[in-house]
Chains A and B, each alone.
Chain A
Amino acid sequence: GAVVSQHPSRVICKSGTSVKIECRSLDFQATTMFWYRQFPKQSLMLMATSNEGSKATYEQGVEKDKFLINHASLTLSTLTVTSAHPEDSSFYICSARPFNSPLHFGNGTRLTVT
């Protein structure tokens, strides 16, 4: 069964609004979670590392003020896309790793900004 849960699976929003995506670890605690983005016909690109109780670490070229990450508990990380624009339309995927297990991924969130 799924060990990492993402919500929502699909969201459509208007340009200029903000969207929050949740990533939950099921039945395990995750001090670290990872957020990826995938554009059509491309591979997954790591956006940021979410750290429980501290600031997220962003990859080069990812705007931290636009993609707000909050990891307030050991089972929940949220990614908020602020002031979304059509170019932010993408497939957002989170991942986390149970202790001594491989990295597991959520089923992704398809964001469409109109």
Chain B
Amino acid sequence: DAKTTQPTSMDCAEGRAANLPCNHSTISGNEYVYWYRQIHSQGPQYIIHGLKNNETNEMASLIITEDRKSSTLILPHATLRDTAVYYCIVRGALSNFGNEKLTFGTGTRLTIIP
């Protein structure tokens, strides 16, 4: 699975958009970009994933550059409850044959400031 690079920490004002970058310059053509977050003392929570098109759901938007070497997770209106560690993970398509494990890096610690 491709390696990812994320900033160690970021701050964002409450109510503003939080933009979390992720570099994955060695991503291969069949690898997806997944985003999870982990609020303190909880298990990771799935946010969103994409292959090459931008994606949006009720939690966030995922913007993937045309060359797919980087992506940005956008939380449009950050709240205090969005304070968490955000993990960007790149891996091949999940199959249904037991290889769904994810490898976590160190992530970005996002702090939402009141």
Footprint of B on A, CB under 8 Å? 4, 6, 31-32, 34, 36, 43-46, 49, 51, 91, 93, 95, 97, 99-100, 102-108, 110
Q: Is B98 an interface residue (CB 8 A)?
A: yes
B66, chain A: closest CB distance, angstroms:
24
CB neighbours (8 Å) of A93 from chain B are 43-44
- The answer to whether A91 touches B41 (Cβ under 8 A) is yes
- The answer to whether B42 touches A103 (Cβ under 8 A) is no
A33, chain B: closest CB distance, angstroms:
10
Given contacts A43-B105, A43-B106, A43-B107, contact A103 B100 (CB under 8 A): yes
**Which 5 pairs across A and B sit closest by C-beta, in order of nearness?**
A105-B43, A32-B98, A102-B46, A44-B104, A43-B104
A100 CA to B93 CA, complexed, in Å: 10
CB neighbours (8 Å) of B30 from chain A are none
Q: Which of A31, A44, A103, A105 contacts B94 (CB 8 A)?
A: A103
Given contacts A44-B104, A102-B34, contact A49 B43 (CB under 8 A): no
A interface, over-half SS: strand
- Chain B interface residue count, Cβ-Cβ cutoff 8 angstroms: 22
- The answer to whether B104 touches A108 (Cβ under 8 A) is no
Given contacts A43-B104, A43-B105, A102-B49, contact A31 B43 (CB under 8 A): no
- The answer to whether B101 touches A49 (Cβ under 8 A) is yes
Q: Which of B44, B98, B105, B106 contacts A105 (CB 8 A)?
A: B44
Q: Which of A34, A49, A105 has the most CB of B within 10 A?
A: A105
The chain B residue with its CB closest to the CB of A93 is B43
Q: Is B45 an interface residue (CB 8 A)?
A: yes
CB neighbours (8 Å) of A31 from chain B are 98
- The answer to whether B100 touches A105 (Cβ under 8 A) is no
Can you sample 19 A-B contacts with CB below 8 Å? A4-B43, A32-B98, A34-B101, A43-B106, A44-B104, A45-B104, A46-B103, A93-B44, A95-B102, A97-B100, A100-B96, A103-B46, A103-B94, A103-B102, A105-B43, A105-B45, A106-B43, A107-B42, A108-B42
